[in-house]
């Protein structure tokens, strides 16, 4: 399936902030770190096993491509790095990899995004970036069918099925799949809200929550329920609403038999079983189960008042 033409992309789809891109990059770095930790020492391939192993990874139809592929992999495993950068002395196994590396020194970025002003040293990096604008999601989870823009996001998602959570909060011991998720969680303890609504100034701990809130100011309700005619600002709100008509409750509690039509309701309900109180007031060290309870407390916390007005 080919990418849509730039002229067909809606303007609101092209408004991609630096913060959004940096969050994607941070998740990408997380997975690269995890992959390096899990990486096994490389072994030199033998002729017969080498061919069989790499044919499993990627089928190569043309015999010339297959031979070239095998030669490249052999050079990688044997660490023959005959292509040397004259600027920094770094060595590479392939001439094209050296050529890409040289752009670090020259600053050349010949590959320009069709939708924004960003430029890239490699065509592949540019194509990956353009998915931010086109909303293309070519990577699919075989276990649940969910789709992703980047392969690294899919790999991080697969941790949901494996149950692995390598990032731990040092305040409450809760585990997370990425450092970004941990970073967002830490704001519960610090009460930091770095994202402010451009319409009313209300602060949020997460960028996506701020963007959702800002949509309430525009007043546009393009998503209409065909059952009752009710309109919604966002498609996911309509989807949640439609469960009222269908009676669907896909979110099941792992502690009891209760089911819910929203994941947020399930999350709050589980705190009854776990006793978790994730919302924390730093000055008086009190914890709360609900964020609204923390907000009410913060307005009348005596220790917070003294800390605010003390010299």
Please name each of the domains of the chain with its CATH number: 137-214 (3.30.160.60), 250-301 (3.30.160.60)
Note the pLDDT of residue 275: 86
Note the pLDDT of residue 310: 39
Note the pLDDT of residue 200: 92
Q: How far apart are CA 251 and CA 266, in angstroms?
A: 6
pTM: 0.39
Q: Pairing state of beta strands 259-260 and 119-120?
A: unpaired
Q: Which two tokens stand for residue 47?
A: 């002729």
Note the pLDDT of residue 113: 92
Question: What averages of pLDDT result for each successive group of 10 residues across the chain (311 residues)?
Answer: 46 47 54 48 44 45 57 62 85 83 83 89 87 88 87 84 85 85 87 90 88 82 88 84 89 90 86 86 82 84 57 37
Note the pLDDT of residue 60: 43
């Amino acid at each position: 399936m080919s990418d849509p033409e730039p002229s067909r992309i809606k303007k609101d789809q092209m408004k991609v902030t630096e913060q959004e891109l940096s969050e994607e990059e941070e998740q990408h770095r997380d997975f690269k770190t995890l992959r390096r930790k899990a990486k096994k020492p490389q072994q030199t391939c033998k002729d017969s096993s080498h061919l069989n192993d790499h044919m499993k990874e990627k089928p190569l139809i043309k015999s010339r491509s297959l031979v070239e592929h095998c030669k490249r992999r052999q050079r990688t495993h044997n660490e023959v790095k005959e292509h040397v950068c004259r600027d920094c002395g770094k060595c590479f196994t392939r001439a094209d990899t050296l050529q890409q590396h040289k752009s670090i020194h020259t600053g050349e970025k010949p590959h320009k995004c069709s939708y924004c002003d960003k430029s890239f040293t490699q065509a592949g990096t540019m194509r990956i970036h353009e998915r931010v604008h086109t909303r293309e999601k070519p990577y699919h989870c075989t276990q649940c069918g969910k789709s992703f823009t980047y392969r690294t996001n899919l790999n991080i998602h697969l941790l949901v099925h494996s149950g692995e959570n390598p990032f731990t909060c040092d305040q409450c011991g809760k585990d997370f799949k990425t450092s970004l998720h941990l970073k967002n969680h830490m704001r519960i303890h610090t009460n930091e809200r770095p994202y402010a609504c451009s319409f009313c100034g209300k602060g949020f701990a997460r960028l996506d929550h701020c963007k959702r809130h800002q949509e309430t100011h525009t007043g546009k309700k393009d998503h209409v329920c065909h059952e009752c005619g009710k309109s919604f600002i966002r498609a996911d709100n309509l989807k949640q609403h439609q469960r009222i008509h269908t009676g669907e409750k896909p979110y099941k509690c792992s502690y009891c038999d209760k089911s819910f039509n929203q994941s947020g309701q399930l999350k709050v309900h589980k705190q009854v079983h776990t006793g978790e109180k994730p919302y924390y007031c730093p000055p008086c060290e009190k914890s709360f189960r609900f964020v609204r309870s923390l907000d009410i407390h913060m307005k009348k916390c005596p220790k917070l008042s003294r800390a605010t007005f003390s010299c």
